Amino acid sequence: MTATLSEPDLERHFEGTIARDARIEPRDWVPEGYRKTMIRQIAQHAHSEIIGMQPEGNWITRAPSLRRKAILLAKVQDEAGHGLYLYSAAETLGADRAELTEKLVTGRQKYSSIFNYPTLNFADVGVIGWLVDGAAICNQVPLCRSSYGPYARAMIRICKEESFHQRQGYELLMTMMKGTEQQRRMVQDATDRWWWPSLMMFGPPDADSPNTAQSMAWKIKRHTNDELRQRFVDMTVPQAEALGVTLPDPELRWNPERGHYDFGEIDWTEFKRVLSGAGPCNAERVAHRRAAHENGAWVREAAAAHAAKSRRGREKAA
Ligand SMILES: [Fe+2]
Ligand SMILES: [Fe+2]
């Protein structure tokens, strides 16, 4: 059918699909800009899931009990699964997975800047679940309605698992807050270090986010960065109160006129510095990923050889 349609017809069909709030599927014609934007977004998301395994993976061997170790292992394994669905979703748009990995390990494609911060004590595991997975949920729930079908469907399952991540983090922190004075100090210290980077996860302010308008028009994005950041702050402040920790922002207060919490200015210079590669752990994260990729080369070769062998066997039998 596509062969008989001219480019303006295809474009009208694409625009119509978006306008009806229906999903774009892998075989549908899409404008080149949509394809590129979607591949970039999905790839960056996939890379974030995979790199995001490192800060917490760092604590698996040092988890304080078998229960905590089992929970943490399950969580880190979920993140690997998220990365895999997402690379598959990018492949449906014609991206090559090996090429995406190559771009990640050579620093040509980005991942969320949050994973360039170190995890210094075990409370960091709880705070990452609470704040980082919490912010990821705010970002990702609207993406379950992304116009690109495979991405939207992957996001439904991912969000279910993210909500487990958020709860396990909060439960860990609740337990520590009921413990010793030193444990409470660890939770406060981790909260102090992760709060501002979590707010940066929503990306630059709307005024500095030139691609937002096009992404909203294509229904790739459903809310602006600032809207999602505000939603996260409003959701998190009562959770901090219930937990008994102080969020490190003296300007944080309820604004009855706006019906939202006001909060202080984010240090965008730090955000840009970390994003450009000069954060505390950027080099370490990418080097670790590159080494893991190189060490896994023999597994990929063996899997490809095995697949070729079974294909030959099937052909012979046929
Ligand atoms: Fe995830
Ligand atoms: Fe997660």
CA distance 272 to 280: 13
pLDDT, mean over the chain: 95
Is-contact 245 187, C-beta < 8 A? yes
pLDDT-based confidence at 153, cuts 50/70/90? very high
Distance of CA 162 from the midpoint of ligand 2 (Å)? 5
Residue of 213 and 115 predicted with greater confidence: 115
Distance of CA 181 from the midpoint of ligand 1 (Å)? 32
Is it the case that residue 1 has pLDDT exceeding 60? no
Tens digits of per-residue pLDDT, 95-114? 999 999 999 999 999 999 99
Q: Nearest-5° angle of CA 188, CA 158, CA 167?
A: 30
Tens digits of per-residue pLDDT, 10-49? 999 999 999 999 999 999 999 999 999 999 999 999 999 9
pTM surpassing 0.75?
Answer: yes
Return the number of other C-beta atoms located less than 10 Å from residue 154's C-beta. 24
**In degrees to the nearest 10, what's the CA dihedral of 22, 27, 30, 35?**
100
Look up the CATH architecture of domain 8-317: Up-down Bundle (1.20)
Distance of CA 48 from the midpoint of ligand 1 (Å)? 8
Q: Where are the domains of the chain?
A: 8-317
CA distance 48 to 42: 10
Q: What percent of the chain has a predicted confidence (pLDDT) above 90?
A: 92
119, two tokens: 């995890």
Q: Would you state the pLDDT for residue 36?
A: 95
Q: Which helix (H) or strand (E) holds 253?
A: strand 253-255
Distance of CA 123 from the midpoint of ligand 1 (Å)? 19
